[in-house]
Amino acid sequence: MTRVDERVASPAPPRRANQLVALVRNGWRQLTSMRTALVLLFLLAVAAIPGSVFPQRNVSIEDVQGYYEAHPTLAPVLDRLGAFDVFASPWFAAIYLLLFTSLVGCILPRLRDHVRALRTPPPDAPRRFERLPQRAVIEDYRGDLEAIAALLRRRRWRVAVRPGTVSAEKGYLKETGNILFHFSLVGILAGVAIGSWYGWHGNRLVIAGSEHGFCNTLQQYDEYGLGPRVHSTDLPRFCLELVDFEARFLDSGQPESYRATVRVDVDGGPPRQVDFTVNSPLRLDGANVYLIGHGYAPVIRYTDRYGRAQTSVAAFPKSDEMLTSEGVFTFPDVNINPETGERDPNAQMGFQGLYLPTVSDDPTVSRSVHPAERSPGLLLVAYRGDLGMETGIPSSVYELDQRQIDSGKLVQVGLSKLLRKGDVWTLGDGTTVEFLGTRPFVVLSVRHDPGETIVLVSAGVLLVGLMMSLAGRRRRVWCRITPTRSSTTDRSSLVEVGGLPRTDYSGFADEFADLVAALRASQPTTGHAPRERAGMHEGTDCWGRSPPSS
Amino acid sequence: MTAAILAYLGAMVGHAAEYAFGSRAPAARVAARPRRALATVGAGAQGAGTPPEPEPAPAAADSRRPLPVGRIAVAVTVLAAVAHFAAVVTRGIAARRMTWGNMYEFVLTLTLVGVIAWLIVLARRPSIRRLGLFVTLAMVLLLGVAGMVLYTPVGPLMPALKSVWFIIHVSSAAIASGIFLLGFVTGVIYLLRAGYDRGKRRFPYPLVRWAPEAEALERLTFRLHAFAFPIWTFAIASGAVWAEAAWGRYWGWDPKETWSFISWVVYAGYLHARATPSVKRRTATWIAIIGFVTMMVNLIGVNLFFEGLHSYSGL
């Protein structure tokens, strides 16, 4: 812009303007040159490497936090450089945008040229065929130009008949495929862009049971992402609850199959029950629901000193592949005197839990030995005191507030205790806790990406275009017909045939020979056979295959 | 599997013998002797204490007229491929599924594809037979690594792998990798041969004295890559379709995805460089070699060192 303004503001001599135009033109030429494109491609590949070396925010935010903890001085520097958001970083975008500009700048003129080539007849024959890599002579040819043209057309050549010569060209699909391939790359980029503008996703942990269902609103997601062009009211309305979840495991502990059964209530319609699993997500109108995690949610009942019981279900995230799971139960509203309504601020209860679906026979092993619930046990550590929930400081729902424990406001009661299903543990003050069992939970990802179809179609076109451009071969043949007087009949003539492969095509010699043979065979059989075989010269030194060696 | 590795070794020794004694020039024969010894030592190490293969080489050395050692070597390669194929099939039967569930099985499959592609190319162009030494060497190395480092007992699939896309995605990836592997071998030989033609006589260059003409090698390299690239593109695209069904997004820059993308970009760069007259053929071939290095980083490095969604393919 400034360049243009400058030119308008100061009436510079036209020479200077030309220089600027030349500069811009040269710059553009540089950008759209193959060399620049190659360098940009290479840069793109190199720029993607840090994306696999460093943890990425969009892949796993926890890993990024872990990296911050492990490298407290290096991490902020790397973050400034965009190492944790490589694929959204300005420098990565700069590379691919330049690459795509170069691509479009290169492919548009090629499209223009190709359309022009498709509309114009194949070029005129060269004056001399001697320099063509393939050539042959047919003497005593008894057909005419039209017969040759018809034969070539039958063989799907594009043909132009001029006085005395026939020009034919084939393999336009190569360039068509090439252009398709490059345009479909732009299509993929557009699809990705649309997906990130108009797409959204939300993740949520759902425990089995009707009281744990949720509806598709942003507030109900544990974590969500909304494209810049999507409003929270645009989300399709449906509610979902987990009815059952079944996981099957091998004896080795390797999972074999998962199946989630959910009840879906799409806006207005009757609720329906559907099963879905990994690899076959639940496809709703405007959203897909994916199963991305699962685990156990133990249920305990705490009976306080006034004899009032409360039940709590808490999802325990797994900490290893055998589904050893850790989590907490909190009972902030217990030990309230039912008569006075008086709350003892230091009698809230919290339990730190470790759930083992299969407890080992060896008592020193505090990890699960199998992910299925073969011999379930819940290891609890009880805390009494102030849970610190009123402080307003956000805290994890998977662990007790360590500050309260450190400051002595939350005190451990007794030692840890391993409870089997149905076991009751009586704490020192007469209160009891009972392990009632578990419920399954799943982690669901609900997503919508409107760019997917565009990307899929573009990828399909890309593949087709790629194969066309790699398999296609552009080649030309020319025939020149010269009437011969020495022949016995009037219609006999001499046909010179020349061929030029325009791309690296080692099979051209064979195709050419085949074509010449067909031309010979196509002569009207009114007279006798050609007197003499025409000499065929293979230009092995420039285009043909290397001579066969044994 | 051991039988297949040993057979590849046998084929390698045969090819080495062809290399060493295929020439009638006495100087070449003398120069070649230590190389044969080298190959035999390598065989002993790889075969882990098994008696060395009976060699056709000494017979060839004694007689004046060259024996068809090369053909014997090709025959042994075919035998090896049959054993290799049998190993893959029996493993598939033992596991009752396609054998692409983990890295060990993937390497077995991709090398099998590479050998089959080699035999097909060889059948069509017998003149490249001498390349067999390098092909079998690559096979022995990759299978050796697979057997010693990556071995995983037979087992069924993870739930996430139970999908038709498993067959489609992994088979196309294995086929593309196998052909890229072969293209890599011919590319390396081409570079050595081109170096030899320019007068380089230091260590690795004289090895390829008998290799086919540089130009033919280069064309073969290009055609292998041009064949494998669409398959690789399809592997990535089908992987994206599968990822959409399994993980909810078609592309998420998981390390494996990132490296497939890198390989794709590098190979695309190779094909473009090859089509550009101003770029030297040697430079273009170097790009293809970098492409294969990224494939290997993807196969071995990503599975072992980076944590990602594809991590079940590791050990």
* Contact criterion met (CB below 8 Å) for A438 and A298: yes
Decide if A258 touches B, using CB distance below 8 A. yes
CA distance B22 to B68: 9
CATH match of A125-171+476-538 with 2.40.10? no
A59: which chain B residues are within 8 Å (Cβ-Cβ)? 252-254, 308
Select from A63, A87, A546 the Cβ nearest to the Cβ of B213.
Answer: A546
Selected residue with higher pLDDT from B159 and A174? A174
CA-nearest residue of chain B to A253? B158
Given CB atoms, is A456 within the 8 Å cutoff of chain B?
yes
- The encoded tokens of residue A420 equal 């089997």
Spell A110-120 as b/e; 16+ CB within 10 A means b: ebeebeebeee
Instruction: Report how far residue A401's alpha carbon sits from residue A387's, in angstroms, rounded to the nearest whole number.
Output: 7
**Domain extent listing, chain B:** 69-313
Q: Give B101's contacts in chain A (Cβ within 8 Å).
A: none
Task: Please list, in sequence order, all residues whose beta carbon lies within 8 angstroms of the beta carbon of residue A306, skipping any fewer than 6 positions away.
Answer: A335, A336, A337, A338
Out of A42, A445, A455, name the one closest to residue B250 (CB): A455
Confidence of residue B183 (pLDDT cuts 50, 70, 90): very high
Cross-chain CB nearest to B158 (options A201, A254, A456)? A254
pLDDT score at B22: 45
Tell me the nearest-neighbour CA distance from B201 into chain A, angstroms.
Answer: 24
Those of residues 49-68 in A touching chain B at CB distance below 8 A are 49, 51-53, 56, 58-59, 63
Question: Of chain B residues 263-302, which have a CB less than 8 A from chain A?
Answer: 265-266, 268-269, 271-273, 276, 278-279, 287, 294, 302
Min Cα separation B117/chain A (Å): 18
* A508-538: pLDDT as tens digits: 888 899 998 888 887 765 444 443 333 333 3
| Cβ contact B259–A52 (<8 Å) | yes
Those residues whose C-beta lies under 8 Å from the C-beta of residue A310, and which sit 6 or more positions away, are A301, A302, A304, A331, A333, A334
A216 touches chain B (CB under 8 A): no
- pLDDT means per 10 residues, chain A with 550 residues, are 41 63 86 85 90 81 83 88 87 92 90 91 87 86 84 90 90 92 94 92 91 88 88 88 91 86 86 88 90 92 90 91 91 85 83 92 86 92 85 72 85 88 88 93 92 94 93 89 66 84 81 89 56 34 28
- pLDDT for res A393: 66
Asked if A550 reaches chain B (Cβ–Cβ under 8 Å), the answer is yes
Write down the mean pLDDT value for chain B: 74
Joined tokens for residue B200: 């380089």
Tell me which of B240 and B201 has the higher pLDDT.
B240
Q: Which of A500, A545, A467 is nearest to A180 (CA)?
A: A467
Average pLDDT over residues B272-281: 87
Asked if the Cβ–Cβ distance from A255 to B159 is below 8 Å, we say yes
pLDDT of residue B154: 63
Is A479 an interface residue toward B (CB < 8 Å)? no
Q: How many Cβ pairs within 8 Å bridge chains A and B?
A: 133
Give, in order, the Cα–Cα distances in Å from A288 to each of A99, A219, A268, A455, B247.
33, 18, 19, 17, 11
Query: Do the Cβ atoms of A53 and B306 come within 8 Å?
Result: yes
Domain residue ranges of chain A, discontinuous segments joined by +: 32-114, 125-171+476-538, 196-293+446-458, 295-441
Q: Which of B174, B187, B182 lies closest to B299 in space, CA to CA?
A: B174
Which of A141, A150, A169 is CA-nearest to residue A521?
Answer: A141
Cross-chain CB nearest to B253 (options A87, A292, A504): A87
Q: Which chain B residues contact residue A544 at CB under 8 A?
A: none
Question: Is the pLDDT assigned to residue B212 strictly greater than 90?
Answer: no
Closest Cβ opposite residue A463 in set B234, B244, B269: B234
A 370-399 residues inside an 8 A Cβ radius of B: none
Closest CA in chain B for residue A87? B253
To test the contact with chain A by mutation, choose from B124, B154, B162 the residue with the greatest count of A C-beta atoms within 10 A, namely B162
Minimum-distance CB partner of A52 among B126, B279, B302? B302
Window 56-95 of B, Cβ < 8 Å to A:
none
Q: How far apart are CA A3 and CA A20, in angstroms?
A: 8
Q: How confident is the model at residue B44 (pLDDT cuts 50, 70, 90)?
A: very low
Taking the Cβ of residue A513 and every Cβ of chain B, the question of whether any pair is shorter than 8 Å is answered with no
> CA of B173, closest CA in chain A: separation in Å?
15
Q: Does A466 contact B259 at a Cβ distance shorter than 8 Å?
A: no
Note which residues in 119-158 of chain B have CB less than 8 A from chain A. 126-127, 155-156, 158
A440–chain B nearest CA distance, Å: 18
Question: Could you give the CA distance from residue A32 to residue A98 in angstroms, rounded to a whole number?
Answer: 9
A38, A257, A506: residue with CB nearest B272: A38
Nearest CA in chain B to A259: B159
pLDDT tens-place string over residues B91-104: 777 776 766 667 77
Question: Which of B217, B242, B250 should be substituted to probe chain A, the one whose Cβ sees the most A Cβ atoms within 10 Å?
Answer: B250
Report how far residue B79's alpha carbon sits from residue A439's, in angstroms, rounded to the nearest whole number: 56
Please, are residues A355 and A378 in contact by the beta-carbon 8 Å criterion? Answer: yes
**pLDDT tens digits along B136-145:** 888 778 887 7
Please tell me the pTM assigned to this model: 0.79
Local structure of A390: helix, strand or coil: helix
The two tokens of residue B204 are: 């690795």
Mutate to test the interface with A, among B258, B271, B305 (most CBs of A within 10 A): B258
Instruction: Give the residue with greater pLDDT, B44 vs A236.
Output: A236
Q: Where are the alpha helices (DSSP H) in A54-141?
A: 61-70, 74-80, 90-119
Contacts of B222 in chain A (CB under 8 A): 504
Do A291 and A444 form a contact (C-beta atoms < 8 A)?
yes
Within 15-34 of A, beta carbons closer than 8 Å to B belong to 34
Contact A123, A168 (CB under 8 A): no
Report CA-CA distances (Å) from A158 to A78, A118, A480, B282: 58, 9, 16, 36
Please report the pLDDT score of residue A244 as a whole number. Answer: 92
* A370: closest CA of chain B, how far (Å): 16
Hey, is the C-beta of A125 within 8 angstroms of any chain B C-beta? no
CA distance B247 to chain A (A): 7
Here the contacts of A407-416 (C-beta below 8 Å, separation 24 or greater) are: A409/A346, A409/A385, A410/A350, A410/A383, A410/A384, A410/A385, A410/A386, A411/A383, A411/A384, A411/A385, A412/A381, A412/A382, A412/A383, A413/A382, A413/A383, A413/A384, A414/A382, A416/A379, A416/A380, A416/A381
CB-nearest to B245 from A42, A281, A550 is: A281
The string of DSSP codes covering A200-232 is EEEEEEEESSGGG-EESSGGG-SEEEE-TT--G
| Beta carbons of B39 and B13 less than 8 angstroms apart | yes
If you measure CA to CA, which chain B residue comes closest to A447?
B248
158-177 of B, contacting A, C-beta below 8 A: 158-160, 162-163, 165
Nearest to A52 among B240, B248, B258 (CB): B258
CA contacts within 13 A on the Cβ side of A444: 32
Residues of B in contact with A278 (CB under 8 A): 159-160, 162, 246
| Model confidence pLDDT, tens digit, residues A412-431 | 888 888 999 999 999 888 88
Distance CA A325, CA A438 (A): 12
